[in-house]
Amino acid sequence: MKTMAEEVVIVGGGGAGTYAALRLKELGYDPLVVCKGLIGKSGCSIFAGNLVLSGHMLGTTDAQSEATMEYFTKWWNNFLIDQDYLVKGGSWIEETFYPELDEAGLYFRRDDQGDIVASVGSVRNIAANQQGQSGMLLMDRRRKQFAEKNIRSLEETSVTALLTGSGGEVIGVVALHYPTGERYAITAKAVVLATGHSDRLSTRSTGTREQSADGIALAARAYAEMCNLEIQWWHASDFAYPKTWDRMHVYPNPLVGSTESARMYNADGELFFEQKTDAPVGLAPYATQFKRVGEQVAKGKARLDGGYTTSYAHIPPEVVKEYNYHAKAFEKVGLDVGSDHVESAVSWHCRQGGVHCDPHTMETSVAGLYVAGGIGGHSNGGIGVVSFDGNIVAETIAAKDVSAWAQPELPADQAEAEDGRLAGLLRPVPEGGVTPMRIKNKLRQLMWDKMGFEKTEPGMSEALEVVRSLRQQAEAGMGLKNTTPNFNYGWVDAIDAFNMIDVCELTILSALNRKESRGPFYRTDYPYTDNENWHARNILIPTPDGGVEFRVEPYATPYLEPEFERRDYFDVPW
Ligand SMILES: Cc1cc2nc3c(=O)[nH]c(=O)nc-3n(C[C@H](O)[C@H](O)[C@H](O)COP(=O)(O)OP(=O)(O)OC[C@H]3O[C@@H](n4cnc5c(N)ncnc54)[C@H](O)[C@@H]3O)c2cc1C
């Protein structure tokens, strides 16, 4: 096992992790980024298609600026957000994020006069270079900035455990470089988890293979509090076939270069959702769209895995092709974007909940442990917002003058125990045993079946039992077909499988504790949105005996109040 001693370790090379590293470098630090995939080419930042404008950028009016605030609070986060954080984030995105990207050479789509093209509507967004492609190009810039600024990284290296000190504080990580099988024990004065959302916990998912909820599992094992883990977002107009991850998404958002938005039709060909009319302030109207699909499912006019369609056929095809990268998905499957409807289905998308943190500092409930981005339970993410988190966490660490602190001593017993656990997972499949992929697939199918649109207490309790039996199965009989230590993705799957088991269990427990329905979270036994009791953080506290406790904390409403106390779930537009 190699050992290293670092000031700051950042885990994750997406929008949040890369920005945290760039900002720390500016502040005089020399962080190490450990990334399961490649920096700027893994996780979900590469998928960000819309670049939402904030403040008064590019001629955004007062009314539009207010609508943007309303959109992020109500439609994007279903009021589960610290509103002061949003206001600060909006200003930072306007004043720092976009100007820096412009200067770094990211090309925002312009018209023949050289003006940046924005969508038309209450909440405006731009694209680089086409809508649907922005994240890829933005993250390419970040990768180049890493090289320019000499930011150190360990790529294709998965963090598998956190190291803790005698008071429970986080003092480092253990990581596996899977191309070589080499293990690292790294001490650090501050550890930032920026491992993103955890979309890949369900059969249909918009996530990449790294998104197995590792960060949440690592933090929970260090007893960090979790917040709103049950609030899982969905895409509701992905291509039904092939079972999609992303870029096979029919964007429901206001389209750049057009006043129109996509339309959704049920099995009888009846129009049932169009952002432009049904969610005019919902720039990414995913929760509302999902609810509307749910209504069609109840009427027998759609299924969650197909049987309804989405289309751009009412929009001039040259406009869609010019500004929208998603038109290519139609071409790839032999459809004409100007006339065809594509069969659609829902997929797990970003998770609103995650590790509980103070969004003004990014500190978690565990000393030494910070988060940034989609992993946090403070917001639903977005490429600008997660970059803001990277900025906050860097400034918090610098303000604490972490570099002046003594280097923690390596807890050799913990490092050896983790090394032994990892070595133990590199074993052949025992007689009658299972591979990690089998466990992962069963888990994902379970979450699709029982943690889908309609959730019930008996269904969730049954899911909990199955997760626990899968844990026993994995512990007793999970092994690999190939036990070479180099480039062994089966080994990575085995590590992931235990993270997924932990996080599926915590997610179900958290869902059982929220006794209402809100946004994408629907319980048939509590079919109403209850702002009186549940406009609140649902905080899960892992306890050392393997159990959990809960605390419920109301949100302050300095700017926007939910407009009712309790209302039937399907009567709430957001
Ligand atoms: C399909 C899709 C479309 C989206 N569209 C938009 C949009 O149009 N506009 C918008 O603003 N936002 C959009 N978002 C949301 C936005 O992309 C995310 O909120 C944001 O990019 C998350 O950034 P992140 O850095 O937190 O996580 P990610 O970008 O997911 O980065 C996570 C990083 O952590 C690494 N990692 C994971 N586990 C480990 C481990 N164990 N050890 C080491 N490294 C690890 C991964 O390799 C990756 O580098 C979209 C998201 C998705 C999924």
pLDDT in tens, 29-51: 999 999 999 999 999 999 999 99
Best residue for ligand 1 mutational test, from 22, 33, 45 (most atoms within 8 Å of Cβ): 45
**In the predicted model, is pLDDT for residue 475 greater than 80?**
yes
Nearest atom of ligand 1 to the alpha carbon of 39: 49
Q: Cβ(30)–Cβ(7) under 8 Å?
A: yes
What pLDDT shows up at residue 283? 87
Best residue for ligand 1 mutational test, from 41, 44, 347 (most atoms within 8 Å of Cβ): 44
Best residue for ligand 1 mutational test, from 38, 47, 160 (most atoms within 8 Å of Cβ): 47
CA-closest residue to ligand 1 atom 5: 48
Enumerate residues lining ligand 1, CB below 6 A. 11-17, 34-37, 42-45, 47-50, 52, 135, 158-159, 194-197, 199, 206, 210, 214, 246, 349-350, 373-374, 381-384, 386
Residue 497 Cα to ligand 1 midpoint, Å, equals 20
Residue 369 Cα to ligand 1 midpoint, Å, equals 19
CA-closest residue to ligand 1 atom 15: 382
What pLDDT shows up at residue 470? 98
Residue 42 Cα to ligand 1 midpoint, Å, equals 8
Beta bridge partners of 153: 33
Nearest atom of ligand 1 to the alpha carbon of 135: 17
Question: Which H helix or E strand runs over 297?
Answer: helix 286-298
Residue 259 Cα to ligand 1 midpoint, Å, equals 29
Query: What whole-number distance in Å separates Cα of residue 428 and Cα of residue 488?
Result: 12
CA-closest residue to ligand 1 atom 53: 44
Helix, strand, coil shares of the chain as percentages rounded to 5?
A: 35, 20, 40
Q: Note the pLDDT tens digit of each residue in 55-109.
A: 899 999 999 999 999 999 999 999 999 999 999 999 999 999 999 999 999 999 9
Q: Note the pLDDT tens digit of each residue in 455-470.
A: 999 999 999 999 999 9
Nearest atom of ligand 1 to the alpha carbon of 160: 41
Which residue has tokens 């997406």? 14
Report phi then psi at 467, rounded to 5: -60, -45
Query: What whole-number distance in Å separates Cα of residue 447 and Cα of residue 457?
Result: 14
Contacts of range 146-152, beta carbons closer than 8 Å, 24 or more positions apart? 146/18, 146/21, 146/22, 146/33, 146/39, 146/40, 149/22, 149/25, 151/21, 151/22, 151/25, 151/31, 151/33, 152/30, 152/31, 152/32, 152/33
What pLDDT shows up at residue 280? 87
CA-closest residue to ligand 1 atom 7: 48
269 CB contacts (<8 Å, ≥6 apart)? Answer: none
What pLDDT shows up at residue 40? 97
| CATH pick for 1-44+134-231+352-424 out of 3.40.50.1220, 3.90.1410.10, 3.50.50.60, 3.40.367.20 | 3.50.50.60
Residue 44 Cα to ligand 1 midpoint, Å, equals 3
CA-closest residue to ligand 1 atom 18: 382
**In the predicted model, is pLDDT for residue 18 greater than 80?**
yes
What average pLDDT does the structure give for the chain? 95
What pLDDT shows up at residue 208? 86
Q: Note the pLDDT tens digit of each residue in 241-291.
A: 887 666 688 999 988 888 899 999 999 999 999 999 999 888 889 999 999
Query: What whole-number distance in Å separates Cα of residue 388 and Cα of residue 34?
Result: 20
For the chain, give the number of residues.
574
Q: Cβ(472)–Cβ(427) under 8 Å?
A: no
Nearest atom of ligand 1 to the alpha carbon of 373: 26
What pLDDT shows up at residue 317? 94
Looking at 136-145, 243-252, 335-344, 542-551, which range is the least confident one?
243-252
What pLDDT shows up at residue 246? 60
All structural domains of the chain with their residue ranges? 1-44+134-231+352-424, 236-350, 426-513
Q: Note the pLDDT tens digit of each residue in 364-380.
A: 999 999 999 999 999 99
Residue 476 Cα to ligand 1 midpoint, Å, equals 33
Tell the CATH topology of 426-513. Answer: Methane Monooxygenase Hydroxylase; Chain G, domain 1 (1.20.58)
Nearest to 243 by CA among 329, 296, 305: 305
What b-and-e string marks burial along 314-325, b requiring 16 or more CB atoms within 10 Å of the CB? Answer: ebeeebbbebbb
Q: Note the pLDDT tens digit of each residue in 420-442.
A: 999 999 999 999 999 999 999 99
CA-closest residue to ligand 1 atom 48: 43
Nearest atom of ligand 1 to the alpha carbon of 37: 47
The runs of H, that is alpha helices, within 435-529 are 436-450, 457-477, 489-513
Residue 196 Cα to ligand 1 midpoint, Å, equals 5
Q: Note the pLDDT tens digit of each residue in 134-172.
A: 999 999 999 999 999 999 999 999 999 999 999 999 999
The 10 Å Cβ neighbour count of residue 456 is: 13
Residue 550 Cα to ligand 1 midpoint, Å, equals 28
Conformational region of residue 156, where left means phi above 0, alpha means psi within -120 to 50, and beta covers everything else: left
- Calculate mean pLDDT across residues 310-319: 95
| CATH pick for 236-350 out of 2.60.40, 2.170.220, 3.90.700, 1.10.3470 | 3.90.700
What pLDDT shows up at residue 243? 74
What pLDDT shows up at residue 525? 97
Nearest atom of ligand 1 to the alpha carbon of 381: 19
What pLDDT shows up at residue 178? 97
Residue 194 Cα to ligand 1 midpoint, Å, equals 9
- Calculate mean pLDDT across residues 323-333: 90
Residue 563 Cα to ligand 1 midpoint, Å, equals 32
Best residue for ligand 1 mutational test, from 32, 246, 275, 383 (most atoms within 8 Å of Cβ): 383
**In the predicted model, is pLDDT for residue 476 greater than 70?**
yes
Nearest atom of ligand 1 to the alpha carbon of 17: 25
What pLDDT shows up at residue 245? 63
